[in-house]
Structure 1
Amino acid sequence: MTTTATTDRADRADRPAPPPLLRDRRFLRLWTAQSVSQLGDRISELALPLIAVTALHATAVQVSLLTALAWAPNLLGLLFGAWVDQRPGKRRLMITADLVRAAALATLPLAHLLDAVSLGQLYAVAVVTGSAGVLFNSAYSPFFVRLVPRSQYVEANSRLSTSRSASYLVGPAIGGALVQALTAPVAVLTDAVSFLASAALLGRLPVTEEPAPAGDAGPPMLARARAGLAFTLRHPVLRASLGCCTTVNFFTFMAAGLTLFFASRTLGLSASAIGLALGAGATGSLLGAVLAPRISRAIGVGRAIAAGAVLFPAPTALVAVAGGPLWARAGALTAAEFLAGAGVMLFDINLNSLQARVIPDALRSRVSGAFGTVNYGARPLGALAGGLLAAAIGTRATLLAAALGGCLAVLWLLPSPIPGLRSLDSLDEPAPDPAVTAP
């Protein structure tokens, strides 16, 4: 008797091989749009905290609050995903999100010209750009799987992550130089322009959009949101990866809101020195993105995910123990960025490809929203916890605690099927859970 899984594999074998990604104009435009946007993001990630630290003399708690507010909209990701799930034209939603982020960021250089930049404005910009980012990400997942064949998920994610890694390589150095030469608020304008460029490139994508939902049929938004969360928690791969990602994000964001503060205030590094150190260290991300597919083939997708889950948070300890002459302090920041960048690429590329493989098409936006609500929702909580803990026990001790806590995230994976997974081809086609699948 022929099983469904066997039939699915036979059907996939009979399909013609998709064209190489580098000859696919649709993917190349998406790749270019993401690359331009990522480069701008690296500049803002450096400039926004430096506005708070150097221009507005913010405390550790205030800097952590800025990081928390940027990620706080992800707590509503469950609702974003359910809403996006019922909307046709995912590309239009992504373009809208890019335009909103560009407009919000452009208010900072304008306020700088009027000598009116404040912490309140920084907080508002963080919330608006964070909300638009959640909208973009909720639409991106179903858009990506319509654009890229299943057999090319790992390759596509590797190329996209390579661009992200390259942005970490050059972005901080460019950002540091721009901040030093033009001031941080003006440097943010670069990110606003990058979002405009991304929107223009996405607008030129000749992608066939999915049909609009038929009338008002189907359950209400809250019911769809619950369905996405229920499926995520029922699925053994998604449940374990969610626990791991959430733990990693909580502890790494305990450190993320404090690293630039610590490097500037405690280590005494200038904006250009921080930018150069982060840029040099970002070669680890680039190397990790390039090698992730090879490593996953050598040791298996599951083991690569587990290795990345430890290598990503652990190097924060190097920053915490940094001291001595300038070259040693800058070198510790560089080494930590290098190792963490390699780890996060190994973790993200393989885990994103695995998730794309196991989530049914009908549930992608809802699962993406549910996953983002819990996973990314831990980021603002971690940032706030980091600021409060730093005020209580000091920044250096908080960074050490974040490194240790982040490494514990791998414990979520050990009892799951993930560590034993050799390749994505060994998985059957995703089958929706009838208990939670709804139109």
Structure 2
Amino acid sequence: MSQPTAASGPATDPDDTAAVTDSTAPSGSTATEPEDSAPSPRQRRDFRRFMASHICNELGNNITYVALPLAAVLTLHASAWQAGLLAAAEQAAFLLFGLPAGAWVDRMRRRNVMIAADLTRAVLLTTVPVAWLLDLHSMPLLYVVALLLGCARLFGDVADQSYLPTLVGRSTLVSGNSRLETVRSTAELAGPGIAGFFVQLLGAVGTLAGQAVTSLVSAALLGRIEAREERPSPAGRGRLLHEIREGLHHVLRNPILRVIALSTASVNLFLSGIFALETLFLTRTVGLQPAAVGWVLTTAGVGSMLAALVTERLSRALGEARLTWLSLLVTMPFGLLLPLTGHGWRIALFVVGALIQSAGVTTYNICQVTYRQTVCPPHLLGRMTATMRFLVWGVLPLSGLLAGGLGQVAGVRGALWFLTAALSATPLVLLCSPLRRMRAFDTGTAAG
């Protein structure tokens, strides 16, 4: 199942001069935005490379998403509490570094940040098999690797979402986000099944070693993007704390961004707890083998991919604002099917619940990320993205601890009952907001 962008979600400069800072743009802007005209052949090549990099990155992330907890469960016999701690460690970066990450990214070339994040992931993913060969494999090591992988993901994602509007005109952001969300959903569809196959064949540790290759390929593809990106001008750069306050000020003054932040944080708190326990639930409670676990988890990718393909059409028919809250209201209650999962035909309950829930989250992500990118001034994109990530993903370490604690006290199935019931109530946040009376987003609410 996809995470709200958290997680997530998505073509190019008209010519080489488009990468140069616009003299009329706010100070600190790194590039002018492309005109909404037909893309040139070079623009198409650049966007294809950007898309291909996403495929490698998302495929690797989804394989690691299955292989890392399986390494803990199968080779180190992790308990529910340890599985929760592992999930918390991977998400702790968003709480620890979420706010300064945006200010730092706005001071650097965003493509370079994405490349550095890919190379860091490649190094970290080779650490686990090397430690296993040296008989140094342990849960504390996995906690450290998970934490550092989360840091690399944080900086890479902030730079990624801040980079996209320099590659695609704002009037086509829904289309651009839908295409990249389709890539992410396809990787989510294929990743768990591939992970289960390779874990069955090579073991979880060996599978992690292979994922370093996808990160290296992603870095190489980003390096081949031809559009030049100017180093951000230091002229308008203030102190770090001042820049962090700018990002917070922009988000908190906008009533729609405020409610989106609260809604997404609520969804993430409970959805991430489900993610933390589902591998343990399927292997120990339901009794599935690693390959079967992988294939069951691919169903979430089917839902995400289908949603990514139809969201643009739905947003035109219903309106982006209305679709934002409808997507959660209709789909989140289907998560209650997950704890009903059992042997035989009852595995289908997990499949249906995960598929529909993931479709709803994907549609929600496309709508709310597009709004965020549309209303934010270019020079604040990094800080706005990082501020939103801090607010909506800062709860994720708490989610892992909550899931682990519930699993220890009430058992894994009992914990899933609590988490899915709470998740079903999260659409109330949007229903009690001005969004319920809106068809389209009011971009006039943007705070500058």
The normalised TM-score by structure 2 is: 0.87
User: How much has 1:345 moved relative to structure 2?
Assistant: 1.3
Look up the match of 2:387: 370
In structure 2, what is the equivalent of residue 309 of structure 1? 328
Matched, 1:335 2:347: no
- For structure 2, which runs of at least 5 residues remain unmatched after alignment? 1-34
Of 319, 326, 349, 2:344 maps to: 326
Q: 1:82 aligns with which of 83, 87, 103?
A: 103
Alignment of 1:60-79 (within 5 A): 60-75=80-95, 76-79=97-100
Q: Residues 248-287 of structure 1: CA distance to partner in whole angstroms, max 9, x if unpaired?
A: 0001112111111111111111111111112244211111
Match for 1:406 among 416, 423, 430? 423
Equivalent pair of 1:284/1:339 in contact (CA under 8 Å)? yes
Map of 2:224 onto structure 1 = 204
**Which residue is equivalent to 2:197?**
177
Quote how far apart the aligned CAs of 1:300 are.
1.3
Residue 18 in 1 paired to residue 18 in 2?
no
Aligned: 1:273 with 2:292: yes
Q: Does the 8 Å contact 1:64/1:386 carry over to 2? A: yes
- Give the 3-state SS of the residue equivalent to 2:78 in structure 1: coil
1: CA distance, partners of 2:331 / 2:68 = 23
Aligned to 2:367: 350
Equivalences for 1:239-254 in 2 at 5 Å?
239-254=258-273
Distance 1:360 1:419 in 2: 26
1:380 equivalent to 2:397? Answer yes
Instruction: Find the partner of 2:130 among 101, 105, 110.
Output: 110
Give the match's secondary structure for 1:282: helix
Q: Report the 3-state secondary structure (helix = DSSP H, G, I; strand = E; otherwise coil) of the residue aligned with 1:314.
A: helix
Instruction: State the alpha-carbon separation in 2 of the partners of residues 342 and 117 from structure 1.
Output: 37
Question: Which SS does the other structure have where 1:117 is aligned?
Answer: coil
Quick check: 356-365 or 303-312, which moved more? 303-312
Report Cα offsets for 1:356-381 as digits up to 9, x if no partner. 11112221111111111111111111
Conserved in 1, the CA contact under 8 Å of 2:335 and 2:424?
no
Tell me the SS of whatever aligns to 2:214.
Answer: helix
| Secondary structure in 1 matching 2:425 | helix
Q: Look up the equivalent residue of 1:53 and give its one-letter code.
A: V
When structure 1 is superposed on structure 2, of 411-420 and 293-302 the one drifting more is 411-420
Same amino acid, percent of matched pairs? 35
Describe the SS at the equivalent of 1:19.
Answer: coil
Q: Is 1:187 equivalent to 2:207 in the alignment? A: yes
Ranges in structure 1 where 5+ consecutive residues have no aligned partner: 1-14, 434-439
Structure 2 vs 1, CA of residues 359 and 316 (structure 1 numbering), >3 Å: closer, same or farther?
same
Q: Contact 1:66 / 1:126 at 8 angstroms: preserved in 2? A: yes
How far apart, in 2, do the equivalents of 1:152 and 1:420 lie? 25
Return the offset for 1:312. Answer: 5.4
1:270-321 Cα distance to aligned partner (Å, 9 max, x none): 1111111122442111111101111111211112111222355433321211
- C-alpha separation between the residues in 2 aligned to 1:276 and 1:238? 36
Moved more, 134-143 or 40-49: 134-143
Please say if residues 340 and 346 of structure 2, whose CA atoms lie closer than 8 Å, have aligned partners that are also in contact: no
- The amino acid of 1:137's aligned partner reads D
Whether the 8 Å contact between 1:43 and 1:190 is mirrored in structure 2 is no
Task: Evaluate the alpha carbon distance shift between residue 322 and residue 58 of structure 1 in structure 2; reply closer, same or farther with a 3 A threshold.
Answer: same
- Counterpart residue type for residue 328 of structure 1: R
**Aligned 8 A contact 2:325 2:427 in 1:** yes
Cα offset, 1:204, TM superposition: 0.7
Aligned to 2:307: 288
Contact 2:327–2:361 (8 Å) recurs in 1? yes
Does the 8 Å CA contact 2:254/2:446 hold for their aligned counterparts?
A: no
Distance in 2, matches of 1:149 and 1:117, equals 48
Q: CA deviation at 1:157?
A: 0.8
Instruction: Give the number of aligned pairs.
Output: 413
Counterpart code for 1:307: L
Whether contact under 8 Å (1:37, 1:191) holds in the other structure is: no
Q: How many Å apart are 1:211 and its aligned residue?
A: 4.1
Aligned partners of 2:40 and 2:314: how far apart in 1? Answer: 21
Distance 2:428 2:41 in 1: 35
TM-score under structure 1 normalisation?
A: 0.89
Task: Describe how 1:94-173 pairs up with structure 2 within 5 A.
Answer: 94-173=114-193
For 1:427, the aligned partner's letter is T
The structural deviation recorded for 1:116 is: 2.8
| Structure 1 residues 387-413: Cα deviation after superposition (integer angstroms, max 9, x where no partner) | 112212222222122112223222222
> How far is 1:16 from its partner?
5.8
2:251–2:447 CA contact under 8 A, matched in 1: no
Question: For residues 267 and 398 of structure 2, what CA distance do their matches in structure 1 show?
Answer: 12
Q: CA RMSD in A?
A: 2.0
Following TM superposition, the consecutive aligned residue runs of length 4 or more in structure 1 with deviations greater than 4 angstroms are: 20-23
Q: Distance in 1 between matches of 2:375 and 2:384?
A: 11
Q: Residue 88 of structure 1 contacts residue 210 of structure 1 at CA under 8 Å; is this kept in 2? A: no
Q: Distance in 1 between matches of 2:331 and 2:396?
A: 15
1:261 equivalent in alignment to 2:280: yes
Distance 1:66 1:326 in 2: 30
